[in-house]
Chain A
Amino acid sequence: MRRLLPFFSVLALPTLAEAYTPEEFFTLKVKPIFSEKCFACHGEKEDKIKGELNLMSREGFLAGGESRKDILVPGHPEKSSLLPIIKWEDPDCEMPEKENDRLTPEQIADVEYWIKKGAVWPSEEEQIKIREADQLSEETEDGIIVKTSGGTKDEWTYRRYKKSDLWAYLPLQKITKPEGHPVDHFVKAKLEKIGAIPAPKADPRTLLRRLSFTLTGLPPKPNEMARWLKTVEGDFEAGFEKIIDELLASPHYGERWAQHWLDVVRYADTAGFSNDFELSNAWRYRDYVIRSLNADKPYNQFVMEQLAGDEMNPNDPEMKVATGFLRMGPWEHTAMLAKEVSRQQYLDDVVDNVGQVFLANPMSCCKCHDHKFDPIPTRDYYRLYAAFSTTQPTEMAAEFLPEENRSAFPKNREHVVRLRDFAVSERDRLYKKREDAAREWYAKRNLPYKNLKARNKDPDGSKPARFEGLTTEDEGQLKVREQDAWIWNRRLERFQALAQSVHNGGFYVRPSKHLRPPNLKNPRQKAKHEKLPDDHILSGGSVHSPTEKVTPGVLSVMGIPTESGTAEDPYALPTGAEGRRLQLAKWMTHEKNSLTQRVIVNRIWKYHFGSGLAKNPNNFGGTGKKPTHPKLLDYLTGNFVKEGWSMKKLHKLILTSETWQQATSHPDKSILEQKDPNNELLAYFKPRRLTAEELRDSLLVFTGELNPELGGLPARPEINREVALSPRMIQFSLAPAYQPNRTPAERNRRSLYAYRIRGLVDPMMEVFNKPGADKSCEERDAPSVTPQVFTLLNSELITNRSLAMAIALEKHASDRDEQIRRAFHTVFTRQPSEEELKTLSGHYDKMLAYHREVKPEPVTYPKEIVRSLVEEFSGEPFQYIELLDIYHDYQPDPQAKDQTPETRALADITLILFNTNELIYVY
């Protein structure tokens, strides 16, 4: 019998195969490998056996397959062709064929050892006995068995996990507060181990810029910088703390950190797919996030409200808005889709994202099978799925709150009504043309006229043609106008007090263009509403293959009972229509649920340092990178909960550390290059590039154009006009053109407020790596790609910014050198060196000479646009006119044609500054 290993020496001991009997070795070590890696293609499905090779038995191994008969030669690993195949050394056959499934060297060694010892294969009964005996030992050299609600196979249920892979599911380590600053304590301890020292503190100006961006996403203004530099003179620490407090109290803090959260939850103002319907009033959720962060709402409350606000307080409109979280994914249901499939798509999306966002466990990994790497059985996927199976996406009535910004309503309503009226009148014109022809048709036959509805069911031939009297051009136009009329009618929902939310009940299917609560006075709807769904494990993830029934529940791996749990099922959630999400939310924010807690602490750390202590903020499972500083993470997490789940307090703790305040350069990189080339141990601060939003917002700050208003209806900034006007397919028609707001003040809001259309991305945002709104983004990418240059050097947007700044500079200073100094000061909060000033003033003069000879053309704004579309009925392109009402009395940004050569020469200087590395990187 195998000896048990003392707990503390798990990692220190080598594999001791001799500790097993051959039967044990096969059952506990080798069979699970075959079961996980081979059986799916070689035996499990009798009708689909690949390569005529069945590996479900020893006989099958010995018989071999289509191409090789010598798969297994017992006692002779060197003669068994299995080995080169699983080692990927056989050029014609590498198995398992996927990189993901490839065997580890340890697994290969185990198979080899098994063959060497005669390839023993005990009977099924014997295997069960061996497994049962093994389960008695909690921990062996293979790791520990984790108790879950159970897998679909015993091999999975009783598999063992390395304890280090389970770090995220284990309780927080209890760590007492160390001497000195806790962040520095743990970071320095790790650095000392490799003999490295931390970098010195960055200089105050650099630090203050870094601080301003990290907390508000905005650059410091020159006067702010001057004031702050005074504040930190003398007692730096005290002064710096004061400035942290000042910035945390700024409303821009909530905007900046809301952006992070919106990346994770995938905020957008439209629903994507065929129609890309507007998610009317989605902005209320965006503003709810901003308000919550500014108020420093405890994170546990923030989580609960988003998952179950409606159940916590059904009468509070804000709570309905908060559950907008459950509506953030791209989703639609139209008549083109099978309703069960759309419904599953919605629930799969919610389950996967609840897993990623709050628990750093992408749940889709266990939708079709038990989790390959983590102790999450597919049963738990469907228990969590059941937790939401009475949750129905719905547009709910929710009164506007006094703090919600509705100032843009009147102007926006005018715009919507104007376009609606245009579409309706064009549509009606074509209706009239058709019906006039229909009247004629009936008259010719001496028949009484029947309207469209009345004649609909009449057989072909005894009624006018479907498009009677219309040309193919008219046919196409009519379809477009009908679509436009209802698109713009629907957009009047913007001014209704409703929120994208959910309600509880049975599945009553509604197309996603109109997701109103069921009408309970209608018996059919009432019956559907009251019939609660049964939930099952779906075989292979297919909605058409339900297997075992499941009831709502939470992730069993955490071992934390729910309030609604019972003795038989401690992890159960309620089974009625109501309260499933509330109990889930309570479990999620349970004081012992270390997973939820570590996840948010790690995210906050990540946004301050560029990468998390655990590098995959959406994946804490065995395949995610383990934390570099587990003790620090656990200390910060414990402290975070103790301090009332306050995000602001956590920010302050991090920002006051020497670690965060280090310079980006290091005096002695030689050790680091060898032992910590990726700076995981944080010997210095990693510079980062501004995000797309920070860059655009900064430019607006420099030019003085930024309108700092908070919240409200999505703003429509100028985007590349070709893209704005380029046609975009939606079901049956083209989407309306993107039209910016009429006035600069409306357009030049913070980027966070820009109308986020899933099917139409702002190219400037995209090129600077704003993530797509389909998948949760844990970390943004920031590579340098060439199209960034085109945007930042050539675009109309950047040209206008460069002119706007030049105009602003000229207002404040008439002297060329003073203007240049001021430009430097605004953008970099520093004075130019003598050499820089000389270069730029020389350049200014040269450019001035150039601009004196050049006359810019005016920019023209189209008041309408001719659209061409290929009509599916005729296969012919047809044209129609789209009204661009905004451009009828548009207030443009500064135009080159109106500027003097001096202004344009100065705009060359500002354009250069906008393109510098000094601006775009934060040190």
Chain B
Amino acid sequence: MSICSRPLSTDITRRNFLYGTGASLGSVALSSLLAAEEGPLVPKKPMHPAKAKAVIMLFMEGGPSQVDTFDPKPKLKDLHLKDFVRKDKTASGMTNGERFYVGSPYEFIRAGRSGIPMCEHFRHLSAADVADELCVYRGCQAESVNHPTALYHMNTGNRFGGDPAIGSWVTYGLGSENQNMPGYVVMTELAQPQGGSGNWSNGYLPAYYQGTTLRSEGSPILDLSPPKWKSREHQRTNLDVLNKLNNAHLKDHPDHDALAARIENYELAYRMQMTVPDTLSLATESDATKEAYGLNEKDTESFGRKCLLARRMIEQGTRFVQIFAGGWDSHDFLERAHKKRIQSVDKPIAALIRDLKQRGMLDETLVVFTGEFGRTPDNTKRGGETALGRDHNNKAMSMFFAGGGTKAGHVVGETDEIGAEAVDVVHPIRDVHVTMLDLLGLDDSKLTYFHGGRSKQLSQFGGEVIKQLKA
């Protein structure tokens, strides 16, 4: 944070209290002030040269179907509604009853020069200038087939929750470029995902690294502003008196380090009340930009707004932004349900990638599109009716990356002929995490925190970089 941004009038008084009346803006005071501000979120050097500086993680909650999005399986159309025999009886409780294959209701197109296959409803993502930036990955396998455990796994590396989220690890490793904004921001759907805030918890890392949920409408951060009948000047006056009491108290307890930090926090909070709404205001964005992100259409407005906010925050130095988009859990009526979901994110994501590219930010921003698991090529009867949907599948899924040092215009990995199981470049979730860290210049095995008797890491017990994903 820059010292200049602090309102001078209050600042000098405060500094006089802090450092004695003899101190001026000279080097001594300045250096002590800077020292005091070497907080846990100051930017830190990566461990090795980084490709990406920041991450935007687009989380498709519910589990998008790979065979209806990025992994076409014509064979499934031939098998449509024919009896399916499941090999693995231990996989989940969803193995009972009469099962049948379900072919994809969609056509696929080959997008861009790279010819990446995509569902026909990705009308915007399939534009050549966007599609050729994507690196689609089909080799990841989740472990859990239950939403909250799989969500926890993809977000924290641990299926059972309680561990730090990947965004917490990244801000722990790299700090944040903007001290007046949270370093790790989360924007959820209408409803919080299953498992709730455990998905962006700091776990055993210090609380500084917790994800801050930000609402795209209303007060962006809880209680950011006082009640309306208290003006900003009113608050400043209250804060000045509080500072007076706190500084007198500090004199009585000169050895107690925590006091100065807490005083400083009130000033930072006061500044954030201005900077956060500024960052989140779309007033300075052009109509064309808003249109591109889909802000003028009902279906895309909500997700589009979050994507645009993500770009604004990354631009201003936030390290990790995560956006949840729900409703992908299509056990039934897949055709209309998945189509709707695709349409609600397609245009905003395309705009985001294009916008980042035009601003020269895509190289240093890693965009990740993923769910918590994939879906099965088959389904069962529901409510006595042949349901055209898909169950959860932990053996195959599709995700894609863009920017941040990933291999643009490529499809990595492969699933079997019905999309049931990954068979090539197969990796567990932890390797995806390790790869993301690696692109950010962090080494999962060295990015550790001592807790519960050992140095813990995001991957739990180590993993490997998926080299094929790197440019």
Contacts and interface: CB of A to CB of B under 8 A. Distances in A.
B146 interface: yes
A337 B224 contact: no
Nearest to A918: B249
B195 A786 contact: no
Contact of A784 (B91, B92, B93, B261): B261
A616 interface: yes
Contact of B223 (A97, A340, A689, A795): A795
A455 B384 contact: yes
Given A274-B148, A772-B162, A362 B194 contact: no
A684 B385 CA distance: 73
A100 B448 contact: yes
A595 interface: no
Interface string A667-709: 0010000000000000000010100000000000000000000
A345 interface: yes
Contacts of B392: 336
A388 B333 CA distance: 44
Contacts of A783: 40, 206-208
Contacts of A457: 384
Interface stretch (B280-288, B289-297, B336-344, B406-414): B336-344
SS of A interface (majority)? loop
A568 interface: no
A772 B224 contact: no
B214 to A, nearest CB: 12
B253 A458 contact: no
A912 B385 CA distance: 64
Given A665-B255, A687-B253, A875-B340, A869 B330 contact: no
Interface in B204-239: 204, 206-208, 210, 212, 215, 218-219, 221-229, 231, 234-235, 237-238
B192 interface: yes
A819 to B, nearest CB: 16
A465 interface: yes
Interface in B383-417: 383-386, 392
For B91, B256, B453, which residue has the most chain A Cβ atoms within 10 angstroms? B453
Nearest to A336: B146
B219 A722 contact: yes
Contacts of B203: 772
A910 to B, nearest CB: 11
B337 A872 contact: yes
A827 to B, nearest CB: 11
Contacts of A339: 93
A794 to B, nearest CB: 4
A200 interface: no
Given A338-B91, A465-B385, A786-B269, A365 B454 contact: yes
Interface stretch (B2-10, B14-22, B240-248): B240-248
Given A720-B222, A871-B327, A460 B385 contact: yes
A336 B63 CA distance: 14
A729 B326 contact: yes
Interface string A295-336: 000000000000000000000000000000000001000111
Interface stretch (A208-216, A487-495, A854-862): A854-862
A372 B454 CA distance: 10
B305 interface: no
Contacts of B74: none
Interface string B318-346: 00000000111111110011111100100
For B193, B218, B219, B265, which residue has the most chain A Cβ atoms within 10 angstroms? B265
Interface string A881-923: 0000000000000001000000000001001110111101101
Contacts of B248: 835-836
For A339, A787, A868, which residue has the most chain B Cβ atoms within 10 angstroms? A787
A686 to B, nearest CB: 9
Nearest to B302: A877
Interface size class of B (residues with CB under 8 A): 35 or more
A763 to B, nearest CB: 6
Contact of B244 (A330, A794, A839): A839
B120 interface: no
B106 to A, nearest CB: 13
Contacts of A336: 92-94, 145-146, 392
A430 interface: no
Interface string A615-628: 01011010110000
A338 B146 CA distance: 10
Nearest to A908: B238
B454 A789 contact: no
B198 interface: yes
A666 interface: yes
A457 B333 CA distance: 20
A788 interface: yes
Given A466-B385, A912-B245, A337 B453 contact: no
Nearest to A757: B196
Given A97-B462, A619-B452, A870 B227 contact: no
A270 B436 CA distance: 34
A251 interface: no
Interface string A5-36: 00000000000000000000000000000000
B358 interface: no
A728 B192 contact: yes
A100 to B, nearest CB: 5
Contacts of B238: 843, 847, 908, 911-912
Interface residues of A, number: 112
Contacts of B237: 843, 846-847
B147 interface: yes
Given A727-B190, A846-B237, A912-B238, A789 B453 contact: no
A790 B269 contact: yes
B455 interface: yes
B223 A337 contact: no
A772 B195 CA distance: 12
A225 interface: no
A271 B279 CA distance: 38
B266 to A, nearest CB: 5
B223 A729 contact: no
Contacts of A57: none
A712 B266 CA distance: 38
Interface string A264-280: 00000000111000000
B87 to A, nearest CB: 14
A772 B227 CA distance: 29
A63 to B, nearest CB: 23
A730 B146 CA distance: 12
A786 B272 contact: yes
A523 to B, nearest CB: 22
B327 A734 contact: no
A616 to B, nearest CB: 7
B210 to A, nearest CB: 8
A565 interface: no
B308 to A, nearest CB: 20
Contacts of B224: 790, 794
For A734, A775, A850, which residue has the most chain B Cβ atoms within 10 angstroms? A775
B253 A923 contact: yes
B6 to A, nearest CB: 15
Interface string B146-167: 1111000000000011100000
A335 to B, nearest CB: 4
Contacts of B160: 330, 345, 349, 774
Given A99-B448, A781-B207, A912-B238, 12 more contacts: A272-B195, A664-B255, A665-B253, A731-B147, A759-B194, A783-B40, A795-B222, A850-B231, A857-B228, A872-B327, A874-B337, A875-B333
Q: Which 3 A-B pairs have the closest CB atoms?
A: A875-B340, A870-B327, A727-B191
27 contacts: A274-B146, A335-B94, A337-B145, A338-B92, A365-B453, A619-B453, A623-B454, A727-B192, A785-B210, A788-B265, A794-B224, A794-B227, A840-B241, A843-B241, A850-B231, A857-B228, A870-B341, A871-B337, A872-B330, A872-B333, A875-B344, A912-B241, A912-B245, A915-B266, A916-B242, A917-B262, A918-B249
